[in-house]
Structure 1
Amino acid sequence: MRIFAFLLFFLISYIATAQKTFWASKVVAFSSEYSDAKTTKENRATQALGKPSKLPMVGTSPCAWQPLTQDNPQEEFLIVSFDTLMPIQQVAIAENYGQGCIVRVEAFDEQDNLKLLWTNKTAPSFEMGKMLNLVLTKPTTYKVRSIKLVLNTARVKGWNQIDAIGISQSTTPIKASVNLAKNLPQQIIKENLGQNVNSLYREIAPVISPDGKTLYFTRWEHPENLGKDKNQDVWYSELQKDNKWGVARSMPAPINNTEHNALCAISPDGKTILLNNVYLKDGGMANGVSIAKKGEKGWNFPEALSIKNFKNKSEFSEYSFSANGRVLILTGQFKETQGGKDIYLSFLQADGKWSEPVNAGKTINTADDESSPFLAADGTTLYFSSYGFSGYGSSDIFVTRRLDDTWLKWSEPENVGSSINTSEWDGYFSISALSDFAYYSSRENAIGQEDIFKFKVPESIKPNAVVQLTGSVFNIVTNKPVKAKITLQTMNTADTVCVTFDPETGDYKLMLPAQKTYNILVSQKGFLSFSETLDFSKENTFKELKKNIYLVPIEPGQRMTLNSVFFEQSKYDILPNSYPELDRIVAVMKENATMEIMLEGHTDNQGDWNANLTLSKQRVEEVKKYLASKGVDMKRIQTQGYGSTRPVSSNNSEEKRKFNRRVEFMIIKN
């Protein structure tokens, strides 16, 4: 029985291995590789590693190995190794351009002995490119350590390129394929937004507001653009009651001027926008990115973002930012480029400046150009365009997801499918927080040179769900709006969102990734800080929540519940996650040196009445001790325990009883 189990395990393991393709993972040696003053890693020997980057499409690509010269009378060679050591029965070579110049394929065994696998005895077919499948009549009698390709580039005139090299124990021909997003519908209907948005000119770079009600985009050389050259201006359209887009209007000054203007991203509350280029006071532009904020009288003059060592070698850049405003996603050519234009990250520093751009890594960056990044409201899902992954023609749209908090680890990019990607250039993907419709630029079936389209987003490429939190901040006594700072922090992490509520410019609005728990803190000088825990851990679809917040002025007689002070179950030990709330009380009492307070403890009606009364007294005494340990004079703090005698909610359910278990803070003297 044990022998049978072992044989079954061996057979399953062998079949799994035999069906798997192993792509080259390391360059051992090469005769030459293309390079010039304008390139970095393009067409180097390392571009032949990994899966095909061009096939099943054919044509030239910087993501393939190309020998240094054309039509070399001397033989060229490339030797690559793999993350496995095994007998093989197939070698697959992705010849994406100049196919037909390979004359020999050889293998190195474990002892580095060179073994001939195949000699080319046929004339070139003059196909532009294809997958060359060399299927052996039987598996090699030795384990293959590496593969050597020998090329006679004079056989096929012009440049010759190798996209990838794979090995397998299977006789089924290895094919190159597009890494499609999972479970895409067979057909996705894309809709041209029509003449209210699109014109006979170029409409590109759509940016949908997080609430899905305003669409911003860029128009090229439109007769109503500013400037004698009618360069590019920012336009916008608003969603009407019939769910159709209204007639587009040009953004007012200072957003549009006589130079090139483009809006890249917008904050969840619609009050902050990123703009391409640096706006100069004389009306000119410089390389970089600017930020503009909306005030009482409209958009303020855009201010340049200060990014450390911003030395972009690329003529073009695009930008996006996270919903919390702390991470900038940009494209360009800086240090450590994978080749061409890559996706980089910059992080907001404590001094308000931005860190030096860091390359997002070779999982999402290639030796070809990456462009038009868009980070969804969940802060995890990134859409971008690239020429450097297998697709359907020109630049395609891909989706990837952030895997950790370093922002440097991403999932393998997935193509959003042939219903969206065409043989033309496709890019500038944008999706609202509702995740219902996506918008992008495409040339196929355009009214003019390039148009904006929308489509219903399939589940497999949707971002994670978010919660839209909106509201206002009021003085609890006068019921008048109060300008205040609002901070939300994910429990147990450093992920923070911070906005300023300004009554003059409308409600605050935040987009928060669902399935998390947050602590909200609202503060303003002259008021007690408000703190509360918001639990969205069970939300898995988009949710709108309106939350008005009432701040208590620092005046005698005013009271406030300490929502973020917690204790051990049925004990008076203060839990560590209470310390930030208590530290804020310490700060208020130090700022107001004559203030005296009363701490009142309350419980629900569960359990023994006398025990609850004692527990409520013990808990406020512990709070008093904590405040005293931080330097507050105990004479300024009175305590009182009421047990279950003063409920503020019904005790009929646990959901309601939790409101009765509380510590209240009352100002006796100020």
Structure 2
Amino acid sequence: PKNVAITNERSLNSPQSDWGAVGFDNGVVFASDRSVASAPKTKAGRPFLKFDGSKLPDQNTYGWTGNGYLNIYTKTAGSDSVALFPLRTQSDYHVGAASFSADGKEVYFTLTRVPKKIGRVKNAPSTLNIEIYSSIKTGEVWSDPVPFRYNNVQGWSVGDPFLTADGSSLYFVSDKPGGKGGTDIYVVKRSAGGQWGEAIAVAGVNTAGNERTPVKADNQFYFSSDGDTSMGGLDIFRATMSGDAVGAAQNMGYPVNSPQDDFALSVTASQKGYFSSNRDGGAGSDDIYSFIDRAELAFRLEGIVFDKETSLPLASAVVSLGKVDGTPLKVQTDSTGAFRFNLDENSNYELSADRTSYRSANDKVGTSGLESSQVIKKNLYLTPIVINKAIRLENIYYDFDQSNIRPDAAVELDKLVRIMQENPTIWIELGSHTDSRGKDQYNQWLSQRRANAAVQYIIDRGIDQSRVTAKGYGESVPVNECTNGIACSEQAHQANRRTEFKIVKQ
């Protein structure tokens, strides 16, 4: 099975045949023979109007199926109902699926008209072949239909028109003489004067069977066929185009295709669109389905490890990438400090970098919720380890004359715990300092109590006690001139009341 999600668009479907859905003007346009309230299930897309040669066909019911005639309907976004699309078809019979220009001002569609003189074959039903017509929209009004160059109502059928996004080419199918099978796919180019050129059979797609509903979307070509390897009936195929050339066609497989008829694929956005099928479980004969082609996504992580102080890249750093609760992958940065990993879909990872004489750096990266392949950039910054260099812990505050760890201080100490967990080879001294107010000996004693409390907090969180030492400095190491007997502001005294750590061994 292919990674494609399909949905029956029940708001569009009826007990009859509904097919050929295309996006148009913030809504959808499609063909349906729903004019009869109830009718037996019929095969999809009969391209002919057949009737008893002794009289004209009924204008309300298609006698060959018992259903109404195909017509074009529209459903706008936010609407709960469908309505006839306002084309001036001038036909009481079949009006088939439509193809619009990119600006929505030109439409090509199929219809059946009854000519004044009908060719008849004795003891056989007469056949009126379908034709292609186009209309131009001026304001809110569509023009009278204009016949296509290759219409030949009594000779052959032309149908399933598809106008390319740039309006320069029209693909269609026909059973006209000279083809390979039942209906073949052809393409015509539009001249600078707006006329359609010679019809050319699309190489590489036509078979001895029937090819139907061609569509070109960017460099992808889609069509349906019952003449190649299929799961049953019409199957949808896809091929890559190079210029005007169509490459080898591939069956799109299950769940797009089924043992029944699958056809009339249209693309409304990247990897999204509609197709039609009379597979089991539908609402009627042919149903409209939407699809999302969840092609396998590819994700890549790329980054550089930098020295945080110098902003220079670091070669030979070890970068680890591991899924949560999974075994990590490890790579070494190259001479430019770069590293790369491939990532899985819908996965979360922990990322870290280590290097001798540096503190580890850690981050997280994930692909959950990403719907398109991409390269994720993530750099890491390692802080150099300088032995005996004091590093201030911000926001470590104590209540007056107390040494217990307040909740706001615990947040900062948790950060130090994490540093020690991520750098299991470092040993630290945690020092507590007071300002110069109060007696020297008391300040020494108070700072030691506070340092001891902070160290005990760290040990209680799983850090080996041999790796951390408490040191109370009292008021002996001020960071400014505020020593005994010097008048200073509260802000200056606050600068001296601090907690620091320094790495004493690695």
Please tell me the TM-score bracket, short chain as reference: 0.3 to 0.5
TM-score by length of 2: 0.47
- Larger radius of gyration between Structure 1 and Structure 2: 2
